[in-house]
Every structure is written in structure tokens, then in C-alpha cells.
Structure 1
Amino acid sequence: MGLFAKITTASDPRTARIAGILLMLLAMLAFSFADAAGKTVVAIYSVGQLLVLRALAGLLVLSPLIWRQRKAFLQLERPGLQLARTLIAACEVAVFYLATAYLPLADVITFYLASSLFVSVGAALFLGETIDRPRGIAIVVGFVGVLIALQPSTQTMSWPALIAILASVLFAGLLLLTRFLRQTPDMVLASQQFAGTLLLGLVLAPSGWITPSATDLVWFAISGAVSAVGLLCVNRSLRLAPASVVVPYQYTMIIFAAAFGWLLFGDVPSRATVAGVAIIIAAGLYLGWRERSTSRPPVGG
């Protein structure tokens, strides 16, 4: 723990960047494992029950930090947007796990990769950001990748696939609202997400509640606790290194998801899925590079 603390608080820029990258990779591994744990139990238990137990475990992990920053909850900016973000976050988690109950984990994550494309479109519609021709082409190419992965037809355009796309759209909305709430501490935003998930779960869970076995209870706890650890790693990563350095490593989540899907459920991604993922990642990386290059101040300015 002492070495970890030393690395994650490094003042040397190079060490800080390396630590930021490692923490982002650890976060993607944590999220993928948490998603796999959630998929394991959602095949038996209701999504509402998963939301309740997952949120309780996550809040338990975050509770020391919540207590330390409790005063931040008393001075929230834009309460209406805070509420909207919390509701969208809760619905996004519910829809995500509903999709994993019917689709391979890697397929659901594939659609999540398209969230960066939805964010670009949403930023133009709601934040007034412009989409120049190169960005527009990249967005179109990215959506072509989604279509290749989805392979739309009367057989493949099932409602679980549409639910997975809806989850991606909700996640993009969550990211856009987070942009509006830049002044809100990360811990407040993270705890709101778990609290909103808990409340939604309490509404949905009673209709299909099944008393979990000890083993399944562990899976529930892992899903929430590991997700909370992942959030902490992401937050620390973004504080140690520039977003342009660490955000591209979020695409490794599809690799981890495919690995867990194969190990735990025997899922093997199709060639179309792999091709679609490659195109989506390429488009997303280009959008990130374009954003970074156009936001740089002119040399000598």
C-alpha cells in the first residue's frame, strides 16, 4: 500500500503519466470483471435485485471517502441537472445489465464503445460544439463499425441488441451531463450514481426478489465493490495524467470483456464483432486526437 500511494501521488511528470496509464488499465480490468460478475447473477436474479445489492456494496466501499467529503454534498451546483444525471446513471446501469442477460458481454461492450460517437453528436446538439468535416466523417465511419458489429437483419436486430444500444446512448447522456457539472467533486458524482442505482433497485426488486445463496451474494458484492474501485482508479488516473494520455486506454475494456466472456461463459466474438470493434476504436481514437490537436494553443501565441 505504501508503494501504491507513493506511485499514485508522484510529482515527477513521467512517473505520474505511467501511474495514470496503469490506473486506467486497472480500472478497465475492474469494470470488465464487475460486469462479468453482474452478468453471472443476472441470469438467475432480477436486474432490480442486482441494482440493490451492487449499489450497497459500492456505497460501502466509498463510505469513508463520502464521510470525508460530506460537506461537498451540501453545496451542489445545478440541482436539477444533478438529479437528471443521477436518474440517467441509474437507468443506464439497469439497461446495461438487462442487455448482458441476453447478449455476450463483449457484444454489449462493443455498443458501449460507440458512446464517444454519441457524445460528439450530443455535444453539437446541446453544447453548441461544432462538427467539422473530418469529425463528421469519423462519426459516420464509427457508426458503420457499429452496423458491422450489429449485422442488422431480421434475425440479429433483436430487442436485446437495441437495449444495448440504448444503454450506450444513456451512457453518452451521462457523460454530457458530467461535462455540465465540472465543478462537482468526483466523489459526489460517483456516490450519486450508486445512490440512484440503489433507489431504482428498491423500486424494481420487490417484484422478483429471490434470497441469494452465499456464493451468489459474493458475486453481487464483487460487482459493486470492484466497480467502486474502478471509479476511484479512473478519478485518480485523470488527476495524475492528461485525459488525452489515459482516455485511449479505455478501449482495452473490450479486450478484458472478451477474455472474461470466454473464460466464464464460453463466448467467442464473431469476426464481424471484431471488425466492428476495430473500426469503432479507430474512429474514437481519431476523434480524441482531433479534439486534442484543435484545442492546443497556437505556437508562439
Structure 2
Amino acid sequence: MTSSSADRTNAARPEPSSLPAPSQLRGIVLLIVSTIVFAVADVITKRLASTLPPPEVAWMRYVTFALAVVPAALARGGSKIFRSRRPGLQVLRGLGMVGSSLIFIESLPYLPVADATAIFFVSPILIMALSVLFLGETVGWRRWMAAALGFIGVMIVVRPGTGSFQAAAVLPLVSAASWAVGAVVTRKIAGDQALTTLAYSSLVGGGVLTLFLPFQWVTPDLPEIGLGLCMGILFAIGHWLVVMAYRHGNASMIAPFAYVQLVWAGLLGYAVFGSVPDPWTVTGAGIIALSGLYTAYRERLRALERKFSG
């Protein structure tokens, strides 16, 4: 699954003018590396989801993630790291994120990784729309046009009403919507430390998924356990890279490089599963990426306007 836009929002970052070019470049490199890590983790997830129930795969991811994050949180700040100014919103954010992960994993046995990733990348557009509804943000007509273009791209990938349509293609879209809810909630709890947010996410996700285990449990063999550990560790590394990337670079500058993940998803999907994105998927993914890039460009212009008008 794509890198965490919610974690980006929660990472403290300086203004563009205070960031030297080498720091911006470091942020871009870190984000690109995170896209490779996430793409590899998604391929492993698809492999596991073909033999294990998706809730169990998601549980393996979250348990490993928690084992990586919680000790780091305790070492850094002790038990006070779990003291949130808005604990209820932290739990709500965690539910949005775990719901997104579970639904995305549910889609992987039926869809190529590239298709699922392309559809999921509509999440920045959904975040923008939800920010208008729940945060009172103002969005100009240009960004609404970019959002409409992004949805056209999704429809090209999904192709509803045609013989190529798969009902499972709706799942990454629902996953993106759940992720967007979590990301918008994150903006309401920006006063908490990033590590606090990650700790809450891992604990809430792990707790919720543990409730599913008695109903859908298949005992994994040793190779599956090994893959599960690799998957969880990669996701933990990927989230850490995203947080570090946004501490080194301004969000509007480096966010567009997240779309590089579409390339890795296609290449790894072909290398591991032999799945080649069809022309419709490539076209739709390109339109989604263009929509996101333009949205990021407009965000950068708005940030500069606020800077010079203030």
C-alpha cells in the first residue's frame, strides 16, 4: 500500500525557505526509497494473501509493526509517549488506517499490484475533498478540476460496465477513502508527536485485527511466517522513511515523487507474478498521477502565497 500521507502530515517540517537544496534532495531520495520498500511489501502481501486470510495477513503486518514501533516509542519517551491530547481522535485515526490496510489486502488476491496501487493513489484527492467538508478548507476550481480528472483516471482503470470490470477493483477505492478519513483526522491531532501517532496506529490496528483471528485463522508454515515478518519490517521501514523524508523536505516539493511507486508496482508485479499492466491501466494510472501532481503544484503555490502575504 502507498506511503502514509497521514504520517507526512504529522511530521514536523520547516518552511520551504529554511530548507537548503541538499536537504530537499535528501527528502526526495528518502521518499523514492520508501516507494520501493512499500512496493516490495505489497508484493509480499499479495503472495501471503493468496494462501492466508487477509485479516490474518493484516494482523501479521500490524503485530510486526507494533513490535518495531512500540519499543522505540518507549525508549524515546517512556510511557508518556502514549499521552495524546486527543486520544479519541487517535483511536479513530487508527481505525481508518487499519480499515484501509485490511480492505486493500482483500483486493490483492484478485487484482494485479499495479492496478490496486493505481486506484489507491486517488487518496490525495479524497483527502482534499474531505478537508473541505470537515476542516473547512477552501479549494479553488483548478484543484476541483484536477480531482475530477483523477476520478476519470480511476474509472479508466476500473472500467465499470465493461467485460473487463472486476468487483474487487472497488476495494482499493474504498481503502483509499478509509485512508483519507484517517489522514484528515491526523490534521486535527497535529499537536501530538509523530511517534505517538505511529504507536497508537500499531496498537489500535493490532488490537482490532486480533478480534478477527478466531474466525479466520490458517496456521502459517515457516516460509509464510518468514514472509510475514519481512512484510511487517518493510512497512515499518517504509513509514520511517516517509517521516524522515518529510522532515528533510517540504511536503509540496517532494510529495509528487510518491507516484514513482506506480512504476515499481508494475515492474515487481511483472517480475514476481508475470502480470503486465494493460494499456487502460497505464493510461488511467498516468491520469491519476497527473491529477495528483497538479494538486501538489497548486498546494505549493498556495503555500508560497501564504508565506509572502504573511
Residue deviations 1:60-115 (CA, integer Å, cap 9, x gap):
22244211233443431222211111111111111010011211111111111111
Residue deviations 1:145-190 (CA, integer Å, cap 9, x gap):
1111111115344331111210011111111111111111111212
SS for the counterpart of 2:276 is coil
Partner amino acid, structure 2, of 1:117: I
Structure 1 gaps, min length 5: 1-10
1:165 maps to 2:163? no
How far 1:131 sits from its partner (Å)?
Answer: 2.2
1:123 maps to 2:114? no
SS for the counterpart of 2:277 is coil
Q: Which residue of 1 aligns with 2:116?
A: 108
Q: Which residue of 1 aligns with 2:8?
A: none
* Worse-matched range after superposition: 265-274 or 15-24: 15-24
Contact 1:48/1:203 (8 A) holds in 2:
no
TM-score (norm 1): 0.91
Matched residue count? 291
Q: Which residue of 1 aligns with 2:33?
A: 26
Identity of matched residues, %: 26
What is the rounded CA distance, in whole Å, between the counterparts of 1:156 and 1:121 in structure 2? 29
SS for the counterpart of 1:206 is coil
Partner amino acid, structure 2, of 1:91: G
What is the rounded CA distance, in whole Å, between the counterparts of 1:216 and 1:58 in structure 2? 17
Q: What does 1:86-97 correspond to in 2, within 5 Å?
A: 86-97=94-105
Residue deviations 1:122-159 (CA, integer Å, cap 9, x gap):
11111111222211211111111111111111534433
Q: Which residue of 1 aligns with 2:193?
A: 185
Partner amino acid, structure 2, of 1:47: P
Q: Which residue of 2 aligns with 1:82?
A: 90
1:38 aligned to which of 29, 42, 45: 45
What is the rounded CA distance, in whole Å, between the counterparts of 1:294 and 1:183 in structure 2? 22
SS for the counterpart of 2:171 is helix
Contact 1:147/1:276 (8 A) holds in 2:
yes
Residue deviations 1:236-284 (CA, integer Å, cap 9, x gap):
1111111112211111111111111111111111101111111111111
Partner amino acid, structure 1, of 2:295: L
What is the rounded CA distance, in whole Å, between the counterparts of 1:22 and 1:266 in structure 2? 28
TM-score (norm 2): 0.89
How far 1:222 sits from its partner (Å)?
Answer: 0.9
CA RMSD of aligned residues (A): 1.8
What is the rounded CA distance, in whole Å, between the counterparts of 1:72 and 1:39 in structure 2? 37
How far 1:212 sits from its partner (Å)?
Answer: 1.3
How far 1:53 sits from its partner (Å)?
Answer: 1.9
Residue deviations 1:204-241 (CA, integer Å, cap 9, x gap):
12223222111111110111110000111111111111
1:48 aligned to which of 31, 46, 55: 55
Contact 1:93/1:197 (8 A) holds in 2:
no
How far 1:193 sits from its partner (Å)?
Answer: 2.0
Partner amino acid, structure 2, of 1:18: L
Q: Which residue of 1 aligns with 2:297?
A: 289
Structure 2 gaps, min length 5: 1-17
1:200 maps to 2:208? yes
Partner amino acid, structure 1, of 2:41: A
Partner amino acid, structure 1, of 2:265: A
